[in-house]
Chain A
């Protein structure tokens, strides 16, 4: 039977992009992830341990950057505390810290700000290295919590059974981020990508990958 309507091929469309799942071939946004990227589709130039030659990263996921707001505000508040203490030194003269020699106060202040900066730095690298990857072969979850815990979990895409997301709360709705659950077969662990942006897009992509498997 002849086709009544055949969609025109887009100018920039290449062979490799047409082999990707539905949403990925169209959406090329965020291809070059930067330092603060939370979600990148088809990211370029990201490598991970044990990556196979023909393995292609389809999704690169981090927590939404807005989830960092709490520690940023806390660090700002902590950084502001010594300013009134120094400015109104006479008023706070009842505090033993204020009456110390200037040398000790200087030392203490430098050390105090050093600790605050380190607190921010550690929180940032915790966010930065907490990554979820979805490739054409696997789902990988790299958990980097604190400075003593790292967990790298991976499962084959053929073992993924379902994907869903839970979005609770006004802030999550406003900034459009949620927890994405990727369910695997049998007794294998499920994958939870916490507070990831554009969850519906991630779920659609995972579902299209499962569909792709079923077609084969």
Chain B
């Protein structure tokens, strides 16, 4: 029982670390997309907005997972 409890704690911490790294990675992606959109852009800038929207959705899911890992 104690072992199982330890495994749960280790898994929780592991997932927490993974999720935090993932969120940092998403920030990098978001930064890159916005910097590239300044170098080259198409008239239908909606594509860049779609990219940003996708990243926001990923952020939301990762934050949800972060909450799930903490609780």
Contact = CB atoms under 8 A, between A and B. Distances in A.
Nearest to A43: B42
Interface in A120-134: 121-122, 125, 128-129, 131, 133
A107 B8 CA distance: 13
A130 B39 CA distance: 11
A35 interface: yes
A152 B39 contact: yes
A99 B23 CA distance: 28
A142 interface: yes
B58 to A, nearest CB: 6
B69 A110 contact: no
Contact of B40 (A104, A110, A131): A131
Contact of B44 (A45, A114, A131): A45
Nearest to B33: A125
Interface residues of A, number: 32
A157 to B, nearest CB: 19
Interface residues of B, number: 31
A65 to B, nearest CB: 15
B30 to A, nearest CB: 11
A33 B44 CA distance: 9
B19 A111 contact: yes
A189 interface: no
A45 B28 CA distance: 28
A45 B65 CA distance: 40
Interface stretch (A46-54, A72-80, A167-175, A194-202): A46-54
Interface of B: 8, 11, 15, 18-19, 22, 25-26, 28-29, 32-33, 35-36, 38-44, 47, 51, 54-55, 58, 61-62, 65, 68-69
Interface of A: 33, 35, 44-49, 100-101, 103-104, 107-108, 110-111, 114-115, 117-118, 121-122, 125, 128-129, 131, 133, 142, 144, 147, 150, 152
24 contacts: A45-B43, A46-B41, A47-B42, A47-B43, A49-B39, A49-B40, A103-B68, A104-B15, A107-B65, A107-B68, A111-B65, A115-B22, A117-B58, A118-B22, A121-B58, A122-B29, A125-B29, A125-B36, A129-B40, A133-B40, A142-B39, A142-B40, A144-B36, A152-B39
